[in-house]
Structure 1
C-alpha cells in the first residue's frame, strides 16, 4: 500500500469518541479552564456552512470525563491537535470552531498562531481560538494548496547569513499543485494579501559530485524545524526526502527514499514515511552530514502510519492511521499506541 499524498483535499469527517455518552470538559486552546469556543468532542463538526459560522456558535460546555481522561487524545499537557478538514479542530480535550474549513493546520513556533488552508483554498492564519483570521495569500484558482509550515530561525552570535535571510525566516512555506505540477511556494507572515513566490531549493556551489543540484519540480510536503530556517520536503517523482536551508548559504541535501518528512524541533532528526511489506512505516534518521543510519520505528506495523509530527520536546511522534491518531516514543523504545479515534492530521502546538 503506497503512501497517500492528500495535497489538502480532505473530506469532512465526523469526530468520534470511544466513550459514546461521555462529554469532555470545555477546554479552550490556551488552558484547561478556559475556552468559550470549545465544543464537546462528541459534537459533529461542520454543522454550519464553511466560512459562515462564527467561532464558538452552537458550542456548549460538557461534563468532565471520568478521571479527567481526555478520550479524544488531545490535552493541554500533550499539546496534540487534530484537524479533519472541517471547521472544527480538536485540541485540549475539546473541539474549537474556527468558523471556516481548516485543512492541514500547522502552528507557529511560539504556538500563538495557526496556519491552514481554508475552504476557498486560500492560505490563512488565525488565533488558537479561531478568531483573528487573516488571509495571507488568496488562491488564484486552478491550484491546490496544502501543508503550510513556518520557516523560522534565531540569530547566532558571530554567524553571517545570506543578505536578507532573516527576513525570509518570517515566512510560511506551503505546497502547490497545478495541472499535476508540484512546487513549493512561500509568503511573508506580515504582509496579508501577498503574491506567493516559488521556493527553489538549490546549492550555492552550483552543484558538484558530492552536492548536485536538487530537482526543481515535483517538490511538496514542506516541514520546517530547528532554528536556522531548515525545511524538509519530499520530491514525489524521485520518491526522496530532502533538507534545505539558506541560513549561511543555500544548501540542499538528499536524505534518502521516503515521503511526508518532518523535522524535529531542534532540527537534528528527521522522521519520514516509507512503504515496507505493504504498509507505510515511520523511519527516523539524523540530519547530520556524517550520519546516515536509519531506524524503523514501526517494524511490526499491521496498519499504515502517515503524516508524522513531533512533540515540542522532541520525545514523541504522532502519526495518522486509518483508525485515528497514534503516538510513539521518538527513540523507538515502544510500539505505537492509539490515542484518538479522530481521523485527521496531527500537529503539536508549542
Structure 2
C-alpha cells in the first residue's frame, strides 16, 4: 500500500503524462477551472492581494471595493474567481472585482466559517480520477473546528464533512480541531492543521482518500505544484516559517536568523518562487527557498494571497 506522499507524486506524474497526450489540455475535465489548471503555459508571478475583513481588498497596491465584507479571500487557480466569507458568514464566489457574486453556501447560523481554499483538478480517465472543482473551508460550531467542502459552482449549496481517512493500517486521523486548509496542484491534494495535536497533515484525494501527519506546525500553505508545504512553527517564542518537501520529508527553517518578528499566514506566488507573509507591521514578501531577506510589500495587515 502506497503512502499518501507516494500516491500524490504518482498521481501528479499520471496527470502530467495525460496532459502531454492531450496536448496540454485535459479534454475530459469536468469544468473550465479544471481545464485551466491543465494548460501548460508558464505560471506568472501573480498579483499580491490583501483582504482585511472590510469590503475593500488591496489588489496590486490599489484598493478595490467588493461591495460586501470580504474575509479570508482565496483566488481560484486561474485567477478568474475569488472565494471568501462575507459579512453574514456565508461562503461567496465572485469575479476579481467583487462583481457577479454568488452565495455558494448560506451559513445556517451558530457557525463561523473561515479560510476557504480551491480544490481544482482535471479528470484523468485512465486513472479513474474525476475532475474536481470544490471549496474546502473550516466550520466552527461551539468552538469545535471541522473541515467541510462544497462544489465551487453551487448556489445555496449544502456543505458536507470532508473525509479524512488515515493511511492503510494506521490509526484514525482526528476529525475535529482541523483548520486552515490549503489545496493546490493538479491531484486534488490539500494540507491542513490540527489545533489539538499541533501538527500539519496532508490529504490525498485519490481513488481511496487517505492522509497522514507531516510535521509540527500551523497555518500551512501548499505550493502551486503540490510538492511543498510552508507552515508556521514557534521557535524561542517567535513564529518562524518552515518548509517541507513532500517527496523527501525535508524540513527547513526559512527564517532562522529573525528572532524578533512573528511571521504568519504564508501564501505562495503562482510560480512558486515567492511567499507573501503577514507580520505585525504589515505584509512582507520573501524567497520561497529562504534566501535573502524579507522585503516589506505594504503596511496593510491582513490575509495575503496571490492572483494569477
Cα distance in 2 for partners of 1:94, 1:287 equals: 36
Offset of 1:204 from its aligned partner?
6.4
2:95 alignment counterpart: 127
The answer to which structure has the higher strand fraction is 2
Alignment equivalent of 1:190, drawn from 153, 169, 176 = 153
- Contact map agreement 1:89 1:95 (CA 8 A) in 2: yes
2:239 alignment counterpart: 280
Alignment equivalent of 1:306, drawn from 264, 281, 287 = 264
TM-score (norm 1): 0.73
1:138 alignment counterpart: 106
Moved over 4 A (4+): none
RMSD, matched Cα: 1.4
Structure whose alpha-carbon radius of gyration is higher? 1
- Summarize the alignment of residues 150-169 of structure 1 with structure 2, pairs less than 5 Å apart: 150-156=118-124, 158-161=126-129, 165-166=130-131, 169=132
Listed as ranges, the gaps of 5+ residues in structure 2 are 1-43
Q: Secondary structure at the match of 1:175?
A: strand
1:259 alignment counterpart: 218
Q: Larger relative CO (CA 8 A, sep 6+): 1 or 2?
A: 2
Cα distance in 2 for partners of 1:157, 1:198 equals: 26
Distance 1:100 1:242, change over 3 A: same
Alignment equivalent of 1:216, drawn from 164, 169, 175 = 175
Cα distance in 1 for partners of 2:287, 2:304 equals: 15
2:5 alignment counterpart: none
Q: Secondary structure at the match of 1:190?
A: coil
Cα distance in 2 for partners of 1:77, 1:170 equals: 23
Distance 1:282 1:77, change over 3 A: closer
Alignment equivalent of 2:166, drawn from 189, 203, 216 = 203
- Summarize the alignment of residues 1-350 of structure 1 with structure 2, pairs less than 5 Å apart: 78-156=46-124, 158-161=126-129, 165-166=130-131, 169-203=132-166, 205=168, 208=169, 211-288=170-247, 291-301=248-258, 302-350=260-308
1:22 alignment counterpart: none
- Equivalent residue pairs, number: 264
